[in-house]
Amino acid sequence: MLIIGHRGAAGLAPENTLEALQKGYDVGADMLEFDVQLTRDGVPVVIHDSTLLRTHGSRTFVRYSTHDSLREATAKGHSIATLEEVLDTFYGKVLLNLEIKSRGAASVVADMIKKRYIKKPSDWHNILFASFKVRELAKIRKVSKHAQLSLLHERNPFAFIAYHRSLHFTAVGFHRLYTNTLACEIAKQLGIFMYAYTVNRPRAAQLLLERGIEGIVTDNPERMRSAILEKE
């Protein structure tokens, strides 16, 4: 089973920070998951929520703020990393699961990665681009036929079927409470990798594994791996 560090390793350090990503890498996560949004001046930054309220206690909106103003808003707490900082640190060292959160971010992100990090077609295999937004994934597909795409699902685990023919998904991400045996079997037949989010209880991970899920997104990669190994 692939162990995917949720927002780096959100159970070990503040989520989506360079520290959390480093923690996830240090404890041996197979893949690091993180979220990307665009600032008002078009800088891709790594943060999940649309505002800084939950993570930094500020009502500042990411999409209405410049990158410099975000740095000022977080000066007294953990800073918000840019996508460039994350890729400079981890690209090529560990698999990355980059979730597109904001509308319009996909083209900017894919173009930047293509220009700065892609030297040959197989380099696209270092990053899995994930999103709930089909249109954002379609924009990435236009940038490269080699890009690895994952459609995230919430309640309907069959949504990927309608779009797979045109987008050619590498993976699908299911909500842990809405996995479905038939959907998993269809994905398996299509050669699509299946993972579930966000799973922090070993027993839940074991049940998902029995259902056919091949990867687990978790806040504590080390603890989850140890628990799964004990069951084997």
Helix/strand/coil (H, E, C) string of the chain? CEEEECCCCCCCCCCCCHHHHHHHHHCCCCEEEEEEEECCCCCEEECCCCECHHHHCCCCECCCCCHHHHHHHCCCCCCCCEHHHHHHHHCCCCEEEEEECCCCHHHHHHHHHHHHCCCCHHHHHHEEEEECCHHHHHHHHHHCCCCEEEEECCCCCCHHHHHHHHHCCCEEEEEHHHCCHHHHHHHHHCCCEEEEECCCCHHHHHHHHHHCCCEEEECCHHHHHHHHHHHC
User: pLDDT value at position 232?
Assistant: 64
User: pLDDT value at position 229?
Assistant: 80
Is the per-residue pLDDT at 17 higher than 80?
Answer: yes
Summarised one tens digit per residue, pLDDT across range 44-60 is 999 999 999 999 999 99
Domain range enclosing 63: 2-231
Summarised one tens digit per residue, pLDDT across range 158-167 is 999 999 999 9
pTM of the model: 0.96
Number of domains in the chain: 1
Mean pLDDT of all residues in 72-92: 90
pLDDT range class, residue 228, cuts 50, 70, 90? confident
CATH number at residue 181: 3.20.20.190
Summarised one tens digit per residue, pLDDT across range 171-219 is 999 999 999 999 999 999 999 999 999 999 999 999 999 999 999 999 9
